[in-house]
Every structure is written in structure tokens, then in C-alpha cells.
Structure 1
Amino acid sequence: MNESHLDNLPAGYVPPKVWSPKHEYGGQFGSINSPVSGARFERELPVGKHPLQLYSQGTPNGQKITILLEELLAAGYSDAEYDAWLIDIFKGDQFASGFVDINPNAKIPALVDRSVDPVLRVFESGSILVYLAERFGAFLPTERRARTETLNWLMWQMGSAPFVGGGLGHFYAYAPLKIEYAIDRYAMEAKRQLHVLDTHLASHEYLAGNEYTIADMAVLPWYPGSLYGVYKTHEFLAVEEYQHLLRWYRAVGARPAVARGRRVNRTSSVPGEFLRERHDASDFDTLTP
């Protein structure tokens, strides 16, 4: 055997000419992964009383949308009232026929706007953010330079954080075995991205400048949000050394609407900590302050 294969994991592994899936991969998400798309079972989605119907889970991508919706309501846009239905990705709810109908990619979040005829589906978190911001005329500047800067950072988040942050989180927290090469590869890039943000925020109040926008709402749940919460890699990545990033994170995180949005469609064994679903503003009254 070629010596270059001796250190492969598993030992001696050589990629086949044509890849095919194994029967079992292990790990927290191993049983739901598949190389093909489409619905796996029949189930219609519930519909609540508001025109905006959100189907999601309070992951970093899901939090982006509930943060924006709560910010819109706080800013006086009463038409932004919404129902937030839990799609439990750990149980495979995202593969139900009703959900796949509104997002063929079977990923949360997905939104249905029932205020238009025919109803309008919106999927991909960045697309939902832009759609809602334009629908209500808020949190996305109209001036060309400020709008472009907002979209710059929104697209940066979409192209950077889920793959790199999610990749690190998978190999660090979820994979059935610890692979040093994989963890080091993702940690290196995650650190670089943290430094990108820290350097930029050293001279800017918010990501797009002096105005709070959907770019801030998109980045906060990921960097450093998921590093503190979902993946618990804050010590591993020495997140506390990025002081400019943390100044921004604490300031934005202290906004009441952000705090509310980050509690929606999340589950916990601690009563009153999160809302599994949100159908009315009064639902927050059940939560522990």
C-alpha cells in the first residue's frame, strides 16, 4: 500500500472512483442524511391566524428571522405579526411533504406570506430577511452605498458562517469521532472570520456602518452566537479575545426584540426558558424574565 495512505482515517482509506453512501454514519445527524432530495412522508403544515407563517427552529439560521420579525413589531409594523411553528430538524420534520412544498431544499427556515394571492413562499434565511425588509421598508437602507454595504455583509454571512461555523460545530460537537485534521481545518477558518469581524467592528458601530440592519441580525446568531451556545466552542476558539466583536455582540444582543427573537422555536428542559412556538406577542409573558 502506498505510504501516503497509512495515516488516513480509517487507516488505509482511499476515495473510491465513484462515491456511494454507507448504510450508517453515526453521530447526531447520521440517520437523517441522504444524497437525494424530496419529501419522505406525507404531512400538511399547520396554518395560524396571521398572514405571515414561519416554519422554523431556533438554530442560528432560524433566529435571524424571528429577530427581524420581533424588531419589526417593536418598530410599530403591526402587520408583521406572525405564527412561528416548530420544525424539529432532530426528528426529521423538515422532510414532511408540506414543508418540502415550500422549501424543496428541506432546510429551515421557510416562510409563507398569505397576505397575497396566490400565497407566496420564501425560503433561504437571507432571502427571507431581504423579502421582509423590503416588504415593510425597514432595516435595509434604500441609499445605494448603505444598501450595498448591508448586502455585502449579509452575503458574507450566508457564504461563510453556515459552512465553516457549521462544519466546525459538526466535527467538534456532533461527529461520532474526533478528527484532528477536520477540526483544525475548520477552526483555522473560523478564527480568520472572527478576526475579519473584529477588525471591521473596531471602526464601525454596526456591520453596515452607523445603522442597524438585517446584516447585524444575520451575523449575530452565528458569530459569536453559535460559538457560545449551539456548539460551545467559545473557549476552544478563544472568542473572548475579539473585543470589538464582543462590544457589538453585547450591544445588539441587549436589544429587547433580539432577546425575544432568539427564544422562539427553541426547546429546553428548563420550563419558561424558550418558546417552542409563537402565535401571539403575549406568548412571551409565559417566559421567565
Structure 2
Amino acid sequence: MADPAWQELIRIRLTERNANEASFSAVIEQYRRLAQQTKILKERNSSLLRAVTSVKGNPSSSTVYVAGTGDDNNPVRTAYITSLESQISSMRDEMAGVYKTQGQNTQRLLAMTETLREKEELSRVDAEALRKSKDELTILRRKVDQHNEIMTEKDRTVQMIIRTIIQILHDEISTLQLELGQIEERNATLTKDNAKLLQRWLDAKQTEANKMNEANDFYEDMRSKHQAVLTWRDGSAAGETGTNPSSVSGNGEARDPDLSAEMKDGIPSTMQKHADQTQNG
């Protein structure tokens, strides 16, 4: 989860302040040492001045130090010794600080050496991983190139197959269209032939119907004439004898005049045949 904006701003400001203060830390340390040295020198000068003043106030005292005299009451000497002791003390303090700083620097150097060793180990591992990654990348690129070549070849083959299939389909379509045209022409010819045959059959049937109608008309005319002749004969015979001998058979049975007219030697007449054909179609 991201920090709020004001916390991030405060952190940035503190980081900038620490960077600004750290940039002048060496100068501040030098000024501190100079100030401390100046203070020591001022104290030594003051002690020397006091010793000189005491010597001037007591002219009987000797200001020259003679070795081996054992005179410890010389104020200049005492002040100088005190100044030297203070300098030695300050120098010891500085040396202790230097030793401490040197120890810290040594510890930092060891830590940095260890860190450098770890970084070098990590760098070696990263370099090895990078080398392996480069090798894998080279292999993958080679595989990609091979795959691209294979895909290009496959695409070329597929395009060739598609063109071949399209050509075959075009040829088949052309052949089918040609066959369809022939079939349509054949169907048109058969339709015309069927129409002609149907018309001929209808004409033939119409001719047959006309002939049957004429035969029926002829049959009806002949039958009416025959019926008129029979009626006239029966009337004239009845006037003479009172009976019609032709109406009775040899067996004493009456014969139908229509049947006698229609039968000839036991065979139906031609008119009867025509009538039956007309009635049965």
C-alpha cells in the first residue's frame, strides 16, 4: 500500500536536509578542530603571559632555565610545561579519536570488503545467469527462425494446395455447368417432344372420338329406321291376320325384333360393336 502524499513529501525533505548537512560535515569537523586548537593555544599564551608578568613583578627570580639546577619555581617553565602537557593531552585525545576513526574505518572497510565479495559473487552468478539466458535466447531465436521457415514452407504448401483445389473446383464447376447445359438442352428437347407427342395423342383421341360419334349417330339413325320399319310391318300384319308370325319363334317364344335385327347368323352386327366401343370408350 502506497504512503500518503504528505508522508512522502516529509521523507523527501528529510532526505534532502540530511544530504545538505552531510555535504558540510567535513568542513564543520575541521572548524571544530581549529577552534579546539585555538582554545588550547589561547590558554597556553595566557599561562605564558601570566608567567612573564609574575617574573617581571619579581626581578630576583631567574627567567633562564639552567639544566640540572633543580629549580622548579620558574613560572615560565611551569607554564610552558603545562602548555606542553595540555598539547600532549589534546594530541592523545586526537590520536585516540584517530585510532577510533581508523578502527571504524577498518570495520567499514571489512564490511565493504565483505559486501564487495558478496556483490562480486552475485555479479558472477548474474553473469552466469546472463550467459545462460543469452545461450537460451540464441537457441530460442534459432528455434523461432526454424519455426518461421517451417511455417513459411507450410504456408507456401497450403497456398499451392488451395490453388490446386480451386483449379480442380473450377474445372469441375465448368464440367458440371457444361453437363447442366446439355441436360437443360436435353430437357428442353424432351419437353418439346413430349408436347408434340401429347398433341399427337390428343389429336388421335379427338379423331377417334369423332369417328365414334359418327358411328353412334349412324347407329342411332339405322336403329330408328329399323324400328320404324318394324312398327310399319307389325301394323300391317296385325291388320291382316291379327298376329305377327315373325314375333314368335319356332319354340313358341316371342322374339325381340331388335335382337332379330341386330343378330345375323348368331353374330352381333357391326353397328352393335360400334355402339359397345362408344359406350366403353
User: What TM-score do the two structures reach when normalised by structure 2?
Assistant: 0.16
Greater per-residue strand proportion: 1
Larger radius of gyration: 2
User: What TM-score do the two structures reach when normalised by structure 1?
Assistant: 0.15
Greater per-residue helix proportion: 2
